């Protein structure tokens, strides 16, 4: 399972990249606002921090304007992945961009039928929002299971990118279902490393080691 960081915070991305476990980054207009930085400048910096796909989102709603914005964004770096909303114009743009060899992440997916359309439009990634789905009384993980089943039925190559991840259980469930990618805020990714028994075990081993009076090397 690939791990993407869902942030435009370059310091947090750099820290995760150093672990060697970061496979890409996703941004959106809200995350760009949170960074307080210029989209072109911050996206370029992020693209230099990872070799993996960096999703940069268009904000136009009609196909022609989306294509113009995508043209600007994809010139930032070779690893830019254009993010388009799951609308008719978004999927028209997805089809045109992927036919031209550009990576496309179709975002704001809330149903399996939307995901089917995105795959037919040749999306590189489909982003179902599990957290927002749960928030609204739906079952985010059932959505991932349904999309996995449909994509496997037809051998679609579109990767399922589980988005709006709020906690470790989302990551674990998505991995059990066989999602291809998950994107999560840096805090959620860092929390995956932690376990109280790991900390306790290290503490006990170090105490015993100190008693031996030995050194390694």
Residues that bind ligand E4P (CB under 6 A): 6, 26, 28, 107, 127, 129, 131-132, 163-164, 183
CB 38 within 8 A of CB 10: no
| Residue numbers annotated as active site | 83
Element (H, E) at 79: none
- Residue 104 DSSP one-character state: E
CB of 208 to ligand E4P, least distance (A): 43
CB of 163 to ligand E4P, least distance (A): 4
Q: Which residues of 157-194 are buried (b: 16+ CB within 10 A; e: fewer)?
A: ebbbbbbbbbeeebbebbeebebbbbbbbbebbeeeee
CB closer to ligand E4P out of 54 and 112: 54
Tell me the C-alpha distance between 98 and 155, whole Å.
Answer: 18
Closest CA to 181 of 139, 144, 133, 214: 144
CB closer to ligand E4P out of 94 and 199: 94
Instruction: Provide the 10 A C-beta neighbour count for residue 63.
Output: 18
CB closer to ligand E4P out of 85 and 122: 85
Beta strands in the chain (DSSP E): 2-6, 24-26, 54-57, 80-85, 104-109, 125-128, 159-162, 181-184
CB closer to ligand E4P out of 104 and 215: 104
């Amino acid at each position: 399972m690939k791990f993407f960081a869902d942030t435009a915070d370059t310091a947090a991305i750099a820290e995760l990249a150093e672990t060697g476990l970061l496979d890409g980054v996703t941004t959106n207009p809200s995350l760009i606002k949170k960074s307080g930085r210029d989209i072109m400048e911050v996206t370029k910096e992020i693209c230099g921090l990872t070799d993996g796909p960096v999703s940069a989102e268009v904000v136009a709603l009609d196909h022609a304007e989306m294509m113009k914005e995508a043209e600007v964004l994809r010139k930032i770096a070779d690893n830019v992945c254009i993010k388009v909303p799951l609308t008719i114009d978004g999927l028209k743009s997805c089809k045109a961009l992927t036919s031209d060899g550009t990576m496309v992440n179709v975002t704001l997916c809330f149903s399996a039928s939307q995901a089917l359309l995105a795959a037919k439009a040749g999306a590189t990634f489909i982003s179902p929002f599990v957290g927002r789905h749960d928030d609204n009384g739906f079952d985010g993980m059932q959505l991932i299971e349904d999309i996995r089943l449909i994509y496997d039925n037809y051998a679609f190559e579109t990767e399922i990118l589980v988005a709006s991840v709020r906690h470790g259980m989302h990551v674990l469930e998505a991995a059990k279902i066989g999602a291809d990618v998950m994107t999560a805020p840096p805090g959620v990714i860092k929390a995956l490393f932690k376990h109280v028994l790991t900390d306790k075990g290290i503490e006990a081993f170090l105490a015993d080691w100190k008693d031996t009076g030995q050194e390694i090397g």
